[in-house]
């Protein structure tokens, strides 16, 4: 199985390189290091969110509320900044990460304690979170001139030639990688999704593990909320509307199985980058906006098809072994 | 005991009478917007409330869906029909999709007008354009041309979605006035879908693929803000001027930073005010037909042209000299 995953990631790298070659044929400037850096920076938020979504999907759940959580936390970050412009930004970030985790834990608790299907829970909280933004603000925007310069400046701040926004995603990548591969809770995510019954026998609390996965995705959505609002220097009810679909698409393209238990940090990151490259390339290669949507959709379906085939092959192998016994 | 009972009866009767009077006097005018939570429409609501106060005995119901969909507006309209409002003034998310619901409303004797974003003629009695599309298109190109270095250069258009009725008409009008502005060379039109991130990315794309770009015209309030931010982040302030249609409160920071020298918008307060006044005219028996003149209170008269459409006023230009002052209003 490990081989399969490795192959899959290698396949994605090849696909991204092929994509870059194709784009370069139409727009040579795309391949320049400065531009690739810009593409990575632009994809950073998607990477952070995809890593959170991955934890949830691994446990056989799904989090449709991430984009709404992001929007709510981003709006709260903006409101805090408007009310207390002098408050140090790390405190603002800590506050929205905590808020995001709390919002995520609501999803987690409903899935854990009330046993409601995750898709229903998060569909509900999605609307609740969006609605809450409206209640908080009455529909008012927070605009560039209302935010402090430090608040807006952080994602753009240069450190070793790379914007802080990119550093955030690199740090989150490292942390999630360690959590997924070196901690009991990270392994529990895989165990719960791979085989919930077996997980119970090994002493893993399935509900609690799912709860923790939702807390993680919520906290990352909170962080992404601050990053989004400060980067685009605007906060309103509809920010990141429909972005949850991009996040799930990134996971699916990255080989994270919707059926749970299969997936890796490099996979999720590559999936997000694949989408990021497409999103950034479409504007410069001069394709009609209608074709753009069709292209994005086609890519996602191809990825799911490849994924489904990979999983089916695994099933056959198990059956053969069973027959041999 | 008897006195007590008599008092109660008297109280009940008088309450009923007062309530009846209030009900009879209150004309209900529904202001249906594209979506709740958009600053522009909140401002229009202010104007509508002002008109209601001026007319007297009018209740304005400000409503709309939470996202900009035609389906959402149809639901809202159906519930307004059930509430038996006297008039519906709608800014439509779709030219044709609302027609059946609005026809149903007119069949029930409800007066229907569209404003800002129009409905097909069979679905309303009149349409109030904030300004004429020709004036808007001209103003957008003029603002871009006025700030071009040496009066000429490449200009790109950043629109909302490729299917937005408003934006497409304005872009057409921009193209028709181009012969009057020989220095303006429109290189491309891109679509940011009224999403901050996509508009930002499209602007980055424009900056890359058109190195000689001198101005971006964004006739959409989400797009113009995102474009200004992208231009600022790319370090192109002073080289690329972002202009188009936006709200003063949302653009104040970008005018200050220099990313945008000027932009235009009609006054949404005036628009909500005029729409309410026109709805009231129709309730009072005015007839909407080509050539008719209807009163819009302090905004003067609306002269209806073909298709029962009329234009309220010229778009108003905001720049460093006045944006701060208007940012406080809307």
> What's the pLDDT at A307?
66
Taking a contact as any Cβ pair under 8 Å apart, which residues of chain A between 24 and 63 contact chain B? Answer: 27, 29-30, 35, 38, 42
Contact check, Cβ <8 Å, A141/B200: no
The Cα A209–Cα A206 span in angstroms is 5
Contact check, Cβ <8 Å, B254/A288: no
- When pLDDT is cut at 50, 70 and 90, the band that residue B318 belongs to is very high
Rounded average pLDDT over A7-18: 83
> What's the pLDDT at A85?
86
The Cα A168–Cα A148 span in angstroms is 20
Three-state SS for B19?
A: helix
> What's the pLDDT at B17?
47
- When pLDDT is cut at 50, 70 and 90, the band that residue B18 belongs to is very low
**Computed from CA positions of residues B78, B79, B84, B89, in that sequence, does the dihedral angle turn out positive or negative?**
negative
pLDDT(A127) > 80: yes
Q: Enumerate the residues of chain B whose CB falls inside 8 A of the CB of residue A243.
A: 197
Domain that holds residue A79: 2-23+34-324
- When pLDDT is cut at 50, 70 and 90, the band that residue A302 belongs to is confident
Taking a contact as any Cβ pair under 8 Å apart, which residues of chain B between 40 and 59 contact chain A? Answer: 42
pLDDT(A323) > 60: no
Instruction: Express as a percent the part of chain B with pLDDT over 90.
Output: 58
Among the partner-chain residues A139, A145, A290, the one whose CB lies closest to the CB of B38 is: A139
Rounded average pLDDT over B11-30: 59
> What's the pLDDT at A153?
86
Each residue's pLDDT tens digit, A251-260: 988 888 888 8
Eight-class DSSP state of B91: -
The encoded tokens of residue B61 equal 């119901």
Each residue's pLDDT tens digit, B129-147: 888 888 899 999 999 999 9
Residue A29 counted as domain residue: no
Rounded average pLDDT over B303-312: 86
Rounded average pLDDT over A182-190: 92
**Count of domains in chain A?**
1
Residue A28 counted as domain residue: no
Locate the chain A residue with the closest alpha carbon to B200. Answer: A232
Mutual angle of helices A164-182 and A206-232, in 10-degree steps: 170
Q: For chain B, where are the E strands, in sequence order?
A: 27-32, 58-63, 87-90, 111-115, 126-129, 153-159, 184-191, 213-218, 241-244, 262-265, 293-295, 301-303, 309-311, 316-319
Question: Rounded to a whole number, what is the distance in Å from the CA of A214 to chain B's nearest CA?
Answer: 25
> What's the pLDDT at B142?
93
> What's the pLDDT at A114?
92
Residue A299 has phi, psi (to 5 degrees) of -60, -45
Contact check, Cβ <8 Å, A145/B37: no
Which CATH number belongs to the domain containing residue A260 in this structure? 1.10.3470
User: Which position has the higher pLDDT, B22 or A14?
Assistant: A14
Residue A140 counted as domain residue: yes
Eight-class DSSP state of A246: H
Q: Does A156 touch chain B (CB under 8 A)?
A: yes
User: A35 exposed, middle or buried (CB, 10 Å; 0-12, 13-18, 19+)?
Assistant: middle
The Cα A237–Cα B277 span in angstroms is 30
The Cα A10–Cα B265 span in angstroms is 52
Distances (CA, A) of A288 to A233, A292, B86, B122, B172: 28, 6, 44, 32, 17
pLDDT(B216) > 60: yes
The Cα B170–Cα A69 span in angstroms is 36
Give the pairing type, strands B126-129 and B111-115.
parallel
Rounded average pLDDT over B16-28: 57
- When pLDDT is cut at 50, 70 and 90, the band that residue B298 belongs to is confident
Residue A179 counted as domain residue: yes
- When pLDDT is cut at 50, 70 and 90, the band that residue B79 belongs to is very high
Q: Enumerate the residues of chain B whose CB falls inside 8 A of the CB of residue A145.
A: 252-253, 256, 327
Each residue's pLDDT tens digit, B193-212: 888 899 999 999 999 889 99
User: Which position has the higher pLDDT, A12 or A59?
Assistant: A59
Identify the structural domains of chain B with CATH numbers, from first to last.
Answer: 2-130+268-313 (3.40.50.2300), 133-265 (3.40.50.2300)
Rounded average pLDDT over B78-95: 92
Residue A308 counted as domain residue: yes
pLDDT(A139) > 70: yes
Among A159-163, B157-161, B240-244, where is mean pLDDT lowest? A159-163
Each residue's pLDDT tens digit, B37-57: 777 888 899 999 999 999 988
Each residue's pLDDT tens digit, A219-256: 999 999 999 999 999 998 888 888 998 999 899 888 88
> What's the pLDDT at B20?
45
Contact check, Cβ <8 Å, B201/A280: yes
Each residue's pLDDT tens digit, B248-297: 989 999 999 999 999 998 888 889 999 999 999 999 888 888 888 888 88
Q: For B142-287, where are the E strands, in sequence order?
A: 153-159, 184-191, 213-218, 241-244, 262-265
pLDDT(B242) > 90: yes
> What's the pLDDT at B19?
46
The Cα A72–Cα A131 span in angstroms is 9
The encoded tokens of residue B113 equal 């007008």
Q: Which long-range contacts (CB under 8 A, 24 or more apart) does A80-85 make?
A: A81/A147, A81/A148, A81/A151, A82/A142, A82/A146, A82/A147, A85/A148, A85/A151
Among the partner-chain residues A156, A232, A286, the one whose CB lies closest to the CB of B196 is: A232
pLDDT(A313) > 60: no
pLDDT(A310) > 80: no
Contact check, Cβ <8 Å, A234/B66: no
Contact between B109 and B97 under an 8 Å Cβ cutoff? The reply is no
Q: Enumerate the residues of chain A whose CB falls inside 8 A of the CB of residue B206.
A: 283
The chain-wide mean pLDDT, for chain B, equals 87
Residue A88 counted as domain residue: yes
Q: Enumerate the residues of chain B whose CB falls inside 8 A of the CB of residue A143.
A: 225, 249-253
Rounded average pLDDT over B184-189: 93
Residue A63 counted as domain residue: yes
- When pLDDT is cut at 50, 70 and 90, the band that residue B2 belongs to is low
Q: What is the pTM of this model?
A: 0.76
> What's the pLDDT at A272?
93
Contact between B73 and B81 under an 8 Å Cβ cutoff? The reply is no
Three-state SS for A166?
A: helix
ipTM over 0.95: no
* Residue among A278, A231, A246, A285 at smallest CA distance from A16: A278
Residue A306 counted as domain residue: yes
């Amino acid at each position: 199985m490990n081989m399969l995953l490795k192959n899959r990631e290698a396949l994605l790298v090849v696909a991204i390189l092929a994509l870059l070659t194709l784009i370069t044929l139409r727009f040579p400037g795309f391949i320049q290091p400065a531009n690739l850096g810009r593409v990575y920076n632009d994809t950073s938020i998607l990477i952070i969110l995809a890593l959170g979504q991955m934890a949830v999907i691994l446990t056989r759940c799904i989090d449709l509320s991430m984009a709404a959580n992001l929007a709510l936390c981003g709006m709260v970050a903006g409101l805090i900044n408007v009310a207390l412009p002098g408050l140090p930004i790390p405190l603002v970030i800590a506050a929205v990460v905590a808020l995001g985790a709390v919002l995520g834990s609501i999803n987690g608790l409903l899935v854990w304690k009330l046993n409601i299907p995750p898709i229903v829970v998060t569909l509900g909280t999605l609307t609740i979170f969006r609605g809450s933004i409206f209640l908080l603000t009455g529909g008012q925007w927070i605009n560039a001139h209302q935010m402090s310069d430090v608040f807006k400046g952080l994602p753009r701040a240069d450190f070793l030639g790379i914007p802080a926004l990119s550093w955030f995603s690199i740090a989150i990548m490292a942390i999630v990688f360690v959590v997924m591969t070196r901690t009991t809770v990270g392994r529990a995510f895989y165990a719960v999704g791979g085989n919930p019954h077996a997980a119970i026998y090994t002493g893993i609390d399935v509900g609690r593990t799912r709860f923790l996965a939702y807390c993680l995705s919520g906290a990352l959505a909170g962080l992404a909320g601050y990053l989004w609002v400060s980067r685009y220097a605007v906060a309103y009810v509809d920010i990141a509307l429909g972005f949850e679909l991009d996040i799930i698409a990134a996971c699916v393209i990255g080989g994270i199985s919707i059926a749970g238990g299969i997936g890796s940090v490099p996979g999720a990151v590559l999936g997000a980058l694949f989408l990021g490259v497409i999103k950034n390339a479409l504007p410069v290669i001069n394709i009609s906006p209608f074709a753009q949507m069709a292209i994005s959709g086609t890519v996602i379906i191809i990825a799911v098809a490849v994924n489904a085939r990979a999983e089916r092959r695994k099933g056959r192998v198990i059956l053969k072994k069973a027959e041999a016994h | 005991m008897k006195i007590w009972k008599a008092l109660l009866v008297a109280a009940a009767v008088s309450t009923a009478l007062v309530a009846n009077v209030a009900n009879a006097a209150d004309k209900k005018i529904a202001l249906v917007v594209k979506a709740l939570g958009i600053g522009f429409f909140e401002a229009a609501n202010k104007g509508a409330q002002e008109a209601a106060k001026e007319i007297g005995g009018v209740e304005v119901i400000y409503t709309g869906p939470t996202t900009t969909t035609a389906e959402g507006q149809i639901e809202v309209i159906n519930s307004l029909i059930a509430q038996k409002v006297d008039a519906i003034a709608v800014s439509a998310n779709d030219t044709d999709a609302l027609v059946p619901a609005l026809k149903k409303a007119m069949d029930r004797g409800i007066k229907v007008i569209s404003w800002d974003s129009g409905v097909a003629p069979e679905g309303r009695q009149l349409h109030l354009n904030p300004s004429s599309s020709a004036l808007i298109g001209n103003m957008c190109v003029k603002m871009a041309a006025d700030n071009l270095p040496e009066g000429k250069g490449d200009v790109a258009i950043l629109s909302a979605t490729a299917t937005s009725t408003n934006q497409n008409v304005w872009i057409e009008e921009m193209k028709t006035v181009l012969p009057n502005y020989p220095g303006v060379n429109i290189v491309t039109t891109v679509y940011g879908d009224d999403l901050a991130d996509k508009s930002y990315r499209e602007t980055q794309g424009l900056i890359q693929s058109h190195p000689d770009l001198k101005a971006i015209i964004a006739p959409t309030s989400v797009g113009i803000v995102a474009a200004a931010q992208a231009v600022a982040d790319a370090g192109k302030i002073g080289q690329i001027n972002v202009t188009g249609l936006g709200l003063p409160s949302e653009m104040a920071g970008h005018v200050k930073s220099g990313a945008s020298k000027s932009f235009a918008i009609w006054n949404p307060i005036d628009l909500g005010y005029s729409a309410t006044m026109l709805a009231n005219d129709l309730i009072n028996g005015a007839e909407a037909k080509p050539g008719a003149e209807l009163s819009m209170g302090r905004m003067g008269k609306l002269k209806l042209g073909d298709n029962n459409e009329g234009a309220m006023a010229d778009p108003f230009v905001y720049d460093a000299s006045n944006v701060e002052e208007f940012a406080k209003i809307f």
